[in-house]
Amino acid sequence: MNVSDMKIGTLLEIYIRRDGYNYKVVSKVEYVDDQRVGVTPIASRTRLFRFKSSDVVDIVYRMDDKSWRWSKVKAGIATLKDGSKLHVFVPETPAESYNKRTSYRLPMSRDITMTYEVIQTPDIDEAEKAKNSRTPELALDRTLSEISESYRELTCRAYLRDISEGGASVYANVELKKGDIVSFELPYGEETVRCRALVVRRTAGDERSLYAHGYGLTYIETSSNYVYYLFSEQRKMLSETKFD
């Protein structure tokens, strides 16, 4: 598959490895040509995201039941004739067929402390004023800053059911919504594994138990030792398994 085959308005997954951490973001395809793809600008809570030359960036595109991955693409920001900005990705190698369903899910069955971020509605009138100010870049920063200030972090008890390379399943004693962001940590020898994830699925828990709400999570950030931890726990489980 070529990047020119991507459809405007569909979603592109972007995987970023920076300073020992792994990040995942999803953005909408806005522009394609024979060599590059442009997406709706990726913004952090306070400003437009800027790629570093040291970042390792992969992109994944899905169509129907097929997926393609381009590894180590060039990433940057492009300004269109009308002054609007896009994040642009330029592959240097052909796409490879990619199947996320091969990810191994490892049973965990342990209690954890989970942090969750509660979104509080920002002042829409103030956000509109920021958008209409004379300096668009400052307007963007201001609007995003106001939205970021509407987040509040709380903690709860949770039960980690299983983990995989791309996400986890948990039960918690609080009710969350799709799109909410959660974080948790796991001990790994003398190290700590850190995970930050998006709630993408809600499942029914046992209303009679402490953990009445179930959630499917997709990671948006993990520490660099996460994959080592996953495979280490997998080997440990296999070594403790008795085979006939």
Residue type, 1: M
- Which pTM was predicted? 0.57
How far, in whole angstroms, is CA 205 from its chain's centroid? 24
pLDDT in tens, the chain (244 residues): 899 999 999 999 998 888 877 888 889 999 999 999 999 998 866 678 889 999 999 999 988 778 899 999 999 999 888 888 899 999 999 998 866 544 567 889 899 999 998 765 544 444 444 444 444 443 344 344 444 445 678 999 999 999 988 899 999 989 999 889 999 999 999 999 999 999 999 987 665 567 889 999 999 999 999 988 988 887 777 556 443 3
User: CB–CB of 21/224 below 8 Å?
Assistant: yes
Phi-psi category of residue 229: left, alpha or beta, with phi > 0 → left and psi -120 to 50 → alpha:
alpha
Q: What is the pLDDT of residue 24?
A: 82
Instruction: Report the C-alpha gap between 174 and 62 in whole angstroms.
Output: 33
- What are the start-end ranges of the E strands in the chain? 11-18, 21-32, 37-39, 56-63, 66-70, 74-79, 85-90, 96-97, 106-119, 151-163, 167-172, 181-188, 191-204, 213-223
Locate the domains of the chain by residue range.
3-101, 106-239
- The per-residue pLDDT for 134 is 43
- pLDDT for 143: 41
CATH of domain 106-239: 2.40.10
Residue 100's pLDDT is 54
The CATH code of domain 3-101 reads: 2.30.110.10
- Indicate the SS3 state at residue 76: strand
